[in-house]
Every structure is written in C-alpha cells, then in structure tokens.
C-alpha cells in the first residue's frame, strides 16, 4: 500500500494526490474513448444517458452532497435547460451559444430559487423545491406560445461548426463525455477552492461555518446557482438525445431518479455521481434481461432439484408473470433505495472504498471499522 | 353565492382528506422528527385493504373498516420495524429517502397485486344528500368532515392528556433524555407508526367514495397533504387539519374561479408564499435557537 505524507495545506488540496490517479483514470479514459468502436450502438446510446445523468448527478451532488441542501426539484432545472435549447434552436442560434445560454438561464433561476430557500432547512426545503418543480411543470404545460404546451417540442439535430451531430452517433457520445469530464474536473477544482471548502463547512455545521466567517447565505445561493447551471447544461444534451421534449417528462419521478443517482452512487463523492448514473441507466437493460432469461433459469434450477416438467412449467409461467408485471421497476427501485439507506449509506463508492481497504490491510482488516454508531437525535426544531 | 358555498363545502371536504393525511405526517413528525413520505401510500394501501374486505369478501362496511384499520396498524408497525428503526436518529435526508423507497415499493406492489384500475367502495353514505334550502350537500362529503373533526379531537386529547402522548412528545424533543427517563422510545415509535397508519386507513376509506382508489392515489394526495402539513406548521395537529382545509378550499376555488391549470398549482404557490413569510407555518411554534 501507498502512504501519502501530507505536510502542508497544498498537499491536502492537490487535484492529483499521486501518480497512480493519472494511470488509472488514463486507462479508464482510453476505454471510454474506444467504446464506440467496440460496443454495440445500443450500449453506446446507454453510455450517452450515463454521461447526461452523471452530469446532473454532479450538479446535484454539489448542492446535496457538498452543501447539504436537499433538493427534489432538479427535474425542473433540467427542463429549463432543455426548453431553452429547444426554443433558441428555432432561431438558428448556434449550439455553443444556446448551450451556454441554457446553463446560464438555469443558473439564474437556480439563484432565484436559492434566495427563498435560505430560510428553509431540511424537510421544508425539500417541500419548497418540490413545489417549485410542480410550478415549473405547470408553466411548461400552459405557456403555449413558447413551449407548445402538452404537444411538446421537437428538437432538431445538433449541428456543431456546420457539421450535423446525430444523437445516436459516436460524435454525440464524445460531446457528452467531454462535457461530463469538464464538469467533473471543474467541480473538483471548485471543491478545492475557498468556495468549495465553504460549501463543505456549511454542510458539516452551519453554525460553525458562520462563526468562522463564512457568509452562509451567499454560499448557499451560489451552491444553488452552480448546481442548477450544471443541470441546465445537462438538460440541453438531454433534449438533443431525446430529440423531443414535453412537460410530462420532467416530473417528480425524474427528480427522485436524480436523488437515487447520488444516493446509490454515494452521497459525498463525485465518483458516486458517475456510479449512480451507471446504475440507474443499466437497470432497464437488466430488467429486460430478467424478463427474457430469468424464468428459464429458475425453472432450470427447479428441474435440477427434481421438479417434474409440469411443476417446472408452472414455475416458469409464474416467474415470467412476475418479471413482466408493470410495476416491477418501481418495486425494485423501492427495495434498492431502502436497502442502500439501511445498509450502505455511503453508496456504491463507499462499498468500493471498503473493498479497497480490505485488500490494502488484508490480514488486519476489522469489520468494525465501518460499523455505524448509534445516534440519538435531539430535536431539529430548535436548531 | 350558492356556487360559492357549494365550492366551499366541497373544498372543505377535500381539504379534510388532505388534513387526515397531513395528520399522519404530523403524528410521526411530532413523535420522532421523521417525515414519512410514504404516508399517502399507506393511505392507498389502507383503501385497498378495505376494498378487499368490503368489496371482495363482502363484509359489513363497519367490520371491513375496522379490519382494514387493524391490519394497517400492524403494517405500520412492521414498516417502522423494518425501514425506520435501523436509521432512527440519522440525518433526515436518509429517512426521507427510505420512506420514498417504501412508497415506491408499496405503489408498485399494489399495482401488481390489485391491478392499476380504479376501484370503488360502497359505503352507507354513498348515495344520500342533505338539502338545506337550495344547497345540496352529499353525505359522503359530510361524513369526511365529521370523521376528521372526531379524529382530530381524539388525537389532540391523546397527545396532550395521556401519558403515552406526553412520552411521544418527550421522545421527539430529545431521544436520549427520554430514554434515560424510562420512556421505552422504541415502543413509542412503533405505536406512533401504528396510529399513523390507522389514521391513513381511515382517510383512505372515507376518501373512496369521493375519488376512486387506485395505486397512484397515495402519491397524488400525499403531495397535496405536504403543503397542508407545512401550512399548518409541521408538528401541530390542529394546524394540519386547518392547513388541509385551506389547501382544499384554495384548490376548489382556484378550479372554479381561475383559468384552467391554476387548480393544481395554486396550493403550491400559497405554500411557497407562506414558507417565505412564515417558515414555521401558521400554527408552528418558533423555537429559540440554543448553541
């Protein structure tokens, strides 16, 4: 194992703590770059969704993971980005302009939401952001001169420097990947800057941050604005990927999916945003797999344990019926959320850290290292 | 004028349903500082239990009602034991997510078992109407209003007059201190969940004649009940009902007097305004900050 000796503050905030990071992320990047040549077009398309969801995840992570402000309204920010792109595109505005405009506008709206949110904490903030999302959804459905209401808007194929970039081609994938990487690197830099440190201070203890001279309200609004802006940028890509947007795509359900991304990935890490996005996008292919293959597998297992052909057939039928039932995806989401909250609050990235530590300390590893401590809560009401 | 009164009464009836769900939020919040996002789904599940007992097994209405309430009380305890107890005391965000997960699960499973159609429960109040002059009031709406008043009064007395109620308030203020004073905090929490699930079931059954029950009704109504609970100030039982009634009346008035589309948003706009002006809600107690 490697020991890192940090002797001053500069060591503590280095972007690349040691050369191993460059090697491992370089290999990952190489794999991602050759992906369109190796993988099927379906998987590449899923990777594009991973990139978009991960970008939103990074945005939400800044707000929820690093500033500690929960939000269930991020679908609205995504919608604002997407609609800005679709609207500006009608006037032949070039992609870079409406891409940045989408981010900027969403950032401004985010700051506007951030101001009233200053006085709210915990559950009140969650409910306020839900209300905001509902209001945005309704505005999108009613403001027909701009958004075409419930009919939805068609989004033209993206064109970059005069070249058409179809949403299923490899170029679009590279574009999304580039934006994801830029967002991640930008966020990493943000987090090691005074602003990012202030965010984390606010998350850990608002009172302590205030007494250290952090302007809590300013940084909360900043966090909202940055988070919204990143989500808006992802929204532009989202609109292009789907090539059609309508208000009923940006519901509470989508906001909850974003929360699932950061929760399952790991709430306090940027790795978590990416891992969570991979998880969320891959659950659909996994369900298809369940529908197609699982009944056969289970019937096969039953047959090896001595079930006769009629019983095996019955088992096959029952499993197939359950696997293709309508609500299965929701049930799986539900169970997964509950299990992660109960058993792995640090998410997939936390699990990875535990596995890594296990191998690093191999004979000395103690299970109790990560044991949850009992917490007794005092009222948050007089916080 | 007549239209106005008619809208007012149906708004109040609808608001009482929101209030009943909000009561569930408030009960749990008051006793454990946990916000249960699955409250609406507990209501939906209660409605389906009652539908099974009354509509499918053909039990007497009151018997079925009681059966559903009892079954849901047990279910509430189970949900508390499995989902909430392991993370009691952890940040609110974890618990919110866990209950959102629980809600997701319930909605999907109910959809898989009972299907996604609309269901209706026949009640003794289904058909009759009360006529006062030219004003027509349906019994099912009046029954909701009456039940809400009774439940609210009972719960208020329970919290303020009984030992168990005091124990619940104590354990929400400071769990560890309550534990040291000999309050069985775990049992208290499980009883609260049972009561909340029972109240939710009552709401679901009373609601069944007004809006049909289907697997998503909990989500729809639960999200309306949030503004109700917040408006009244989370943690205040009369506040929840008043908030619910306000939301119901606002919604029904907005649906009648304002252009289409305002009906669904008006409660949330009012909520945001209230949160801006008075973040602790109308009946909320403003606590002093202690460092």
Q: What is the pLDDT of residues A222-242, one digit of tens each?
A: 999 999 999 999 999 998 888
Cα separation, B262 vs B257, whole angstroms: 9
- For an interface test with A, which of B104, B229, B283 has the most A Cβ atoms less than 10 Å from its Cβ? B104
CB contact under 8 A, A334 and B102: yes
- For an interface test with B, which of A73, A131, A287 has the most B Cβ atoms less than 10 Å from its Cβ? A131
Structural domains of chain B, ranges and CATH numbers in brackets: 1-277 (1.10.3470)
User: Which of B92, B97, B215 minimises the CB distance to A123?
Assistant: B92
Looking at the structure, do residues A69 and A216 belong to the same domain, yes or no? yes
| Percent of all residues in chain A with a pLDDT value above 70, rounded to a whole number | 95
A362 belongs to a structural domain? no
Whether chain B has a CB inside 8 Å of the CB on A256: the answer is yes
Looking at the structure, do residues A31 and A102 belong to the same domain, yes or no? no
A359 belongs to a structural domain? no
Among the candidates A223, A250, A277, a domain finishes at: A250
Looking at the structure, do residues A30 and A50 belong to the same domain, yes or no? no
A229 belongs to a structural domain? yes
Average of per-residue pLDDT across A77-87: 90
ipTM, 2 decimals?
Answer: 0.82
pLDDT value at B15 more than 70:
yes
Chain A contact set for B83 (CB, 8 A):
338, 342
Task: Tell me which residue of B79, B144, B289, B107 sits closest to A253, measured CA to CA.
Answer: B107
CB contact under 8 A, A329 and B108: yes
User: For A327-377, what is each residue's pLDDT tens digit?
Assistant: 677 888 888 888 888 888 888 888 888 888 888 888 887 777 777 776 666
CB contact under 8 A, B104 and A374: no
DSSP state of A362: G
**pLDDT recorded at residue A54:** 92
Looking at the structure, do residues A33 and A161 belong to the same domain, yes or no? no
pLDDT value at A382 more than 50:
no
Q: How many CA atoms lie within 13 A of B49 on its CB side?
A: 27
User: For B237-289, what is each residue's pLDDT tens digit?
Assistant: 788 888 888 888 888 888 888 777 777 788 888 888 888 887 777 776 655 55
A329 belongs to a structural domain? no
User: Which of A326, A374, A381 minimises the CB distance to B287?
Assistant: A381
Residue burial A70-82, b: 16+ Cβ < 10 Å; e: rest: bbbbbbbbbbbbb
Looking at the structure, do residues A3 and A103 belong to the same domain, yes or no? no
Among the candidates A250, A277, A292, a domain finishes at: A250
Domains in chain A, number: 2
Between these two residues, A108 and A140, which has the higher pLDDT value? Answer: A108
A349 belongs to a structural domain? no
Whether chain B has a CB inside 8 Å of the CB on A35: the answer is no
Whether chain A has a CB inside 8 Å of the CB on B26: the answer is no
CA dihedral A153, A156, A157, A159 (to 10 degrees): -130
Task: Tell me which residue of A98, A329, A70, A68 sits closest to A206, measured CA to CA.
Answer: A68
Looking at the structure, do residues A118 and A223 belong to the same domain, yes or no? yes
Distance from CA of B24 to the nearest CA of A (A): 15
Whether chain A has a CB inside 8 Å of the CB on B223: the answer is yes
User: For A174-202, what is each residue's pLDDT tens digit?
Assistant: 889 999 999 999 999 998 899 999 999 98
Cβ distance A296 to A316 under 8 Å?
yes
**Least-confidence region, from A69-73, A291-295, B249-253:** A291-295
Q: Establish, for the pair of chains A and B, how many residue pairs have beta carbons separated by less than 8 Å.
A: 157
Distance from CA of A376 to the nearest CA of B (A): 5
Whether chain A has a CB inside 8 Å of the CB on B181: the answer is no
Helices A41-60/A252-265 angle, 10° precision: 90
Looking at the structure, do residues A14 and A54 belong to the same domain, yes or no? no
Q: Which domain holds residue A194?
A: 43-250
CB contact under 8 A, B96 and A123: yes
**pLDDT recorded at residue A183:** 93
């Amino acid at each position: 194992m490697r020991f890192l000796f940090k002797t001053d503050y500069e060591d503590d905030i280095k972007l690349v703590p040691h050369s191993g990071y460059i090697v491992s992320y370089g290999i990952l990047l190489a794999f991602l770059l050759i992906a369109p040549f190796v993988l099927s077009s379906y998987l590449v398309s899923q990777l594009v969704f991973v990139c978009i969801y991960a970008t939103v995840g990074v945005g939400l992570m800044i707000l929820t993971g690093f500033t500690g402000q929960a939000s269930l309204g991020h679908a609205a920010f995504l919608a604002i980005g997407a609609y800005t792109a679709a609207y500006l595109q009608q006037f032949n505005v070039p992609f870079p302009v409406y891409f940045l405009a989408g981010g900027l506008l969403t950032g401004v709206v985010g700051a506007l939401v951030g101001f009233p949110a200053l006085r709210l904490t915990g559950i009140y903030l969650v409910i306020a952001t839900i209300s905001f999302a509902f209001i945005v959804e309704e505005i999108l459905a009613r403001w027909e001169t701009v958004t075409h209401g419930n009919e939805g808007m068609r989004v033209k194929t993206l064109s970059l420097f005069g070249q058409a970039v179809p949403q299923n081609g490899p170029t679009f994938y590279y574009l999304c990947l580039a934006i994801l990487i830029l967002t991640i690197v930008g966020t990493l830099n943000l987090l090691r800057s005074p602003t990012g440190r202030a965010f984390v201070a606010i998350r850990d203890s608002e009172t302590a941050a205030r007494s250290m001279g952090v302007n809590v309200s300013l940084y909360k609004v900043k966090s909202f604005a940055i988070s919204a802006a990143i989500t808006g940028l992802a929204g532009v890509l989202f609109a292009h990927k789907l090539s059609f947007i309508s208000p009923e795509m940006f519901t509470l359900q989508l906001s909850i999916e974003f929360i699932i991304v950061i929760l399952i990935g790991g709430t306090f890490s940027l790795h978590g945003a990416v891992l969570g996005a991979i998880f969320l996008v891959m659950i659909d292919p996994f369900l298809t797999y369940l529908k197609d293959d699982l009944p056969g597998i289970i019937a096969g297992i039953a047959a090896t344990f001595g079930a006769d052909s009629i019983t095996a057939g019955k088992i096959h039928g029952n499993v197939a019926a359950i696997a293709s039932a309508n609500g299965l995806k929701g049930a799986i989401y539900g169970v997964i959320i509950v299990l992660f909250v109960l058993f792995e609050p640090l998410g997939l990235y936390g699990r990875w850290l535990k596995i890594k530590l296990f191998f690093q300390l191999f004979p000395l590893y103690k299970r109790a290292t990560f044991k949850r401590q009992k917490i007794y809560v005092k009222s948050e009401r007089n916080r | 004028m007549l239209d106005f009164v008619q809208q007012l009464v149906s708004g109040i009836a609808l608001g009482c349903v929101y209030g009943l769900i909000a009561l569930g939020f408030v009960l749990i919040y008051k006793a454990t500082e946990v916000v249960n996002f699955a409250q609406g789904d507990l209501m939906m599940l209660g409605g389906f239990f009652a539908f099974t007992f009354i509509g499918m097994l053909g039990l007497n209405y009151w018997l079925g009602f009681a059966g559903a309430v009892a079954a849901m009380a047990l279910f509430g305890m189970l949900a508390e034991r499995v989902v909430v107890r392991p993370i009691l005391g952890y940040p609110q965000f974890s618990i919110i997510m866990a209950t959102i997960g629980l809600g997701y699960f319930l909605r999907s499973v109910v959809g898989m078992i009972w299907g996604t159609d609309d269901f209706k429960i026949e009640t003794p109040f289904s058909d009759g109407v009360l006529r006062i002059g030219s004003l027509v009031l349906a019994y099912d709406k009046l029954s909701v209003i009456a039940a809400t008043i009774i439940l609210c009064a009972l719960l208020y007395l329970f919290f303020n007059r009984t030992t168990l109620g005091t124990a619940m308030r104590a354990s929400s203020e400071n769990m560890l201190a309550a534990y040291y004073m000999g309050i069985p905090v775990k049992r208290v929490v499980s009883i609260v969940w049972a009561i909340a699930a029972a109240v939710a079931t009552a709401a679901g059954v009373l609601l069944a004649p007004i809006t049909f029950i289907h697997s998503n009704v909990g989500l729809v109504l639960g999200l309306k009940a949030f503004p109700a609970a917040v408006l009244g100030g989370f943690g205040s039982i009369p506040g929840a009902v008043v908030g619910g009634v306000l939301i119901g009346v606002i919604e029904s008035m907005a649906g009648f007097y304002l252009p289409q589309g305002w009906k669904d948003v008006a409660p949330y706009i009012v909520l945001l305004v209230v949160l801006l002006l008075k973040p602790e809600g109308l009946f909320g107690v403003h606590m002093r900050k202690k460092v």
